[in-house]
Structure 1
């Protein structure tokens, strides 16, 4: 498929023409179907995340600022803060999707893009095909942008951000659904990029816990995307082309490298929107291999918690330095605490919301397991993580009180292109999260969501996510 128009010069104008004019028919069905799964995964993660106190605090704040756009879990706010709150809920469990290319994870696009898309819904019907098209086009530019600004390994250690680029992807999705033409969309993308947060990975409070509440910055990006579009609609002028030149967006987000061709080459032919990943654990992706390896040795041993004598985690250096904290203060802190997460596994708690309830955070077994847990830096794994591929790996050694020993090594997180999972796995995960959130009849709703591209108006279909289901809200 070729571009159905003559490409202009300039990065922002060309991206905007692609985003505003590309018809749904130009998108491969496989890419559209992948974003059906991303949408399902994001909505389910947001439904469960919305039950936690931090999400409720954000939702309360958003409701105080206006109304008109529904919030997942109940209530409404203005478009900008609805996008912020819904993205925050989607990312709160750290169970939401990712963009993964050649095994390297880069951000959580679904949270920002879906939240921006939901913020565009108003009084008029929106077809499922139009909604999915806006998500795919937002993801395509989002994914190309983060690939184009990937820093060197040296710069990554100095400064890096997770979700700053997602303001542009969110703006594409929101602008497409608002019907902006190419010139106005170009201005909106430039404004959204200007509103991006500063890179913050190395300022997560790794050593001064608790971890920062905004962590991956998907919520500020969703807000910036919506705000950039609304400011353009209000007549404000942004930079002429924020992506161009030696002082462009790549430099603003701290990179020392920019590959502009990755932004525009092969548009409508090479689809990066399909390079998605689905998380199988509600935790930082860096430690997913540890959790999978531990699940494997637990299953092999069949040992209950009190028969665990010793656990050795072998991985890259940051796991020992940043993920060994044994006393998380809240759900976000817990997602970066292997003693807490592995205790939840050893106790057989269902992954998702049950790992982050007040009872789970206060479980005395975490302190007990921490005394049996040791961390070791594997030079090979450390090199793999510190290289350009940034691929997390791990090996877990489990020793039982009777002397039994079990070992497992994981070389890449499950759920990405290197180790994909099926649509059925995504549906099963979503059904569990929806049930945890108290949404009635999750299997029936999932069946309808799977056919969302055929729906004439998605608003009634997704309405159950915006009610206040009869499930506990933890305080």
Structure 2
């Protein structure tokens, strides 16, 4: 596929399947819900304070409201802060084949760039969002297919952000080409497994991906130039772009049931299913053995002292599920990090790599667990793949329950209004600013 074809897909409105637009609406609202749930976490607060202090806009038309905060920053500053906020509550969508996340960068970019487009309809916003998911996914495929290291999402979702910014700013094809080149060149090619070995607020690099991508679009429009993006224009990358506009990868994204690393989800699902089937509780368990893929086996093993460690810990996630029967933001932050009932389960959990599970990654994220009860019984889950994707999707009622849990600090009226927009956004004549307006004021208890 030539660059002209790619540029036309990015910049021009074209027919998109209704199913892709509806999926975009669901992913958008789910991501906004995660942003609300993350508003009170330390990482999000630091990112918003930083954006307000150091990424101000020179004029009102270049500013955007920080999510669930009330203050304003520049468009790149807002995108950075919101993506960092979302990335640090690991409940956002992802795509298995990318080994990472798109929505946590492109949703903030959409809200940032759309603020100065009051005429933008909901359907136009969704079309731009679908486009950015498709571009980011193929940039990821091209990057992972051409380098040996496992890079974080910011390395490639920056290109989806740049494409979205160019579309909403009515950029030319040449501006777009320069923007993609700038975004790829400056995108954070950070190593994912370094973050797994030492969990921090860096998470998946999407904050910097959103910053770089939005800056790239704006700088290119101002005349700044960049080398052509290798992941878009090289001969080796062409195979990854050949199905653009034909295969809609956005419909293959998963939605997370739990706000922790996706690599832990299969084991959590396995434990949850056994708890429902056999009716045991924490006090009945003597040990839990987990077989999983290599990347999941590398997750943090000890009792976490930070939210980042908690989200990147498979044993901790299992302990929370066994103790509380669910995993919410309150379990991976604040007092949840010193819960004595959760802590006493950790020594009972052993995790090791299972070769067959490693062979399936990243197409699948599988685990199996064996639970030994105090009465001597052993309960085996068999192989379980993480649910939430197209092969085992969450029901809309469950997605709504997750959204309600994440938006508890918004108040029922505001949360209900946000959720209600999901169905209306794809319909003709609905203004996107209806949704944007609801994301600006601080959450309850998080005034600035």
Q: TM-score, normalised by structure 2?
A: 0.90
Shift of 1:394: 1.0
Does 1:231 pair with 2:227? no
- The question of 1:69 aligning with 2:45 is answered no
Match of 2:79 in 1: 83
- Counterparts of 1:144-293 in structure 2, within 5 Å, are 144-151=138-145, 156=148, 158-204=149-195, 206=197, 209=198, 211-243=199-231, 258-263=236-241, 265-293=242-270
**CA drift at 1:44:** 0.5
CA contact (8 A) 2:128 2:164 kept: yes
- Write the distance in 2 (CA, Å) between the matches of 1:324 and 1:241: 35
1:55, distance to aligned residue in structure 2 (A): 0.8
2:421 matched to which residue of 1? Answer: 448
CA distance in 2, matches of 1:431, 1:417: 22
DSSP 3-state at the match of 2:154: coil
Q: Assess, with a 3 A threshold, how the Cα gap between structure 1 residues 384 and 457 changes in structure 2: closer, same or farther.
A: closer
Provide the aligned length of Structure 1 versus Structure 2.
438
1:31 aligns with 2:5: no
The whole-number CA distance in structure 2 between the counterparts of 1:112 and 1:330 is 23
- What residue in structure 2 maps to residue 115 of structure 1? 108
The SS at the match of 2:259 is coil
Q: 1:350 to 1:394 in 2, by over 3 A?
A: closer
The 2-side partners of 1:233 and 1:244 are apart by: 19
Judged with a 3 Å threshold, the aligned counterparts in structure 2 of structure 1 residues 182 and 295 are, in CA distance, closer, same or farther, namely same
Change (3 A) 1:318 1:110: closer
Note the alpha carbon deviations across 1:215-242, whole angstroms, 9 max, x for none. Answer: 2111111111100011012211111454
Deviation at 1:379, TM superposition (A): 2.9
Structure 1 match to 2:335: 359
Instruction: Verify: 1:412 aligned to 2:388, yes or no.
Output: no
Moved more, 432-441 or 283-292: 432-441
| Separation (CA, whole Å) in 2 of partners of 1:47 and 1:356 | 15
- What 5-or-longer segments of structure 2 have no aligned partner? 58-62
Query: 1:403–1:105: structure 2 CA closer, same or farther, 3 Å change rule?
Result: farther
Structure whose residues are more often helix by fraction: 2
Q: Could you tell me which residue of structure 2 aligns to residue 4 of structure 1?
A: none
Report Cα offsets for 1:111-153 as digits up to 9, x if no partner: 111111111023441211111111111111111222233338x
Q: Is the 8 A contact 2:43 2:84 kept in 1?
A: no
Do the aligned partners of 2:300 and 2:309 also contact (CA within 8 Å) in 1?
A: no
Structure 2 residue 369 is the aligned partner of structure 1 residue 373: no
Choose which of 300, 315, 328 in structure 1 pairs with 2:292: 315
The one of 94, 104, 107 aligned to 1:98: 94
- The separation in 2 between residues aligned to 1:317 and 1:113, in whole angstroms, is 29
Q: Secondary structure at the match of 2:439?
A: helix
Q: Specify the SS of the correspondent of 1:310.
A: strand
3-state SS in 2 of match to 1:291: helix
Residues in 1 aligned to 2:116 and 2:9: alpha-carbon distance in whole angstroms: 27
User: Secondary structure of the equivalent of 1:42?
Assistant: helix
Quick check: 1:326–1:338 contact (8 Å CA) kept in 2?
no
TM-score by length of 1: 0.85
Equivalence for 2:130? 136
CA distance in 2, matches of 1:273, 1:374: 35
Give the 3-state SS of the residue equivalent to 1:69 in structure 2: strand
Aligned counterpart for 1:428 among listed residues 387, 395, 401: 401
Distance 2:292 2:228 in 1: 45
Deviations 1:273-314 (A, max 9, x none): 332111122121112101111111222332332222111112
1:225-266 per-position Cα deviation (integer Å, ceiling 9, x unaligned): 100011012211111454467xx6x9xxxxxxx441221x24
> What SS class does the counterpart of residue 375 from structure 1 fall into?
strand
User: 2:442 — aligned with what?
Assistant: 468
| Preserved contact between residue 154 and residue 210 of structure 2 (Cα < 8 Å) | no
In structure 1, C-alpha distance between the alignment counterparts of 2:434 and 2:49, rounded to whole Å? 24
Superposition CA RMSD, Å: 2.4
Question: Does structure 1 residue 295 correspond to structure 2 residue 269?
Answer: no
* Residues 319 and 112 (structure 1), Cα distance of their counterparts in 2 relative to 1, 3 Å cut: closer
**Cα shift at 1:369:** 0.7
SS in 1 for 2:144: coil
1:46 is aligned, of 22, 29, 35, to 35
The superposition leaves residues 172-218 of structure 1 with CA deviations (integer Å, 9 ceiling, x where unpaired) of 11211111122222222222212201231132150xx4x13222111
What is the Cα deviation at residue 159 of structure 1?
A: 4.4
Q: Which moved more, 1:376-385 or 1:35-44?
A: 376-385
Contact 1:344 1:355 in 2 (8 A): yes
Shift of 1:390: 4.9
Q: Distance in 2 between matches of 1:352 and 1:438?
A: 17
The 1-side partners of 2:247 and 2:388 are apart by 22
**Unmatched 5+ stretches in structure 1:** 1-6, 251-257
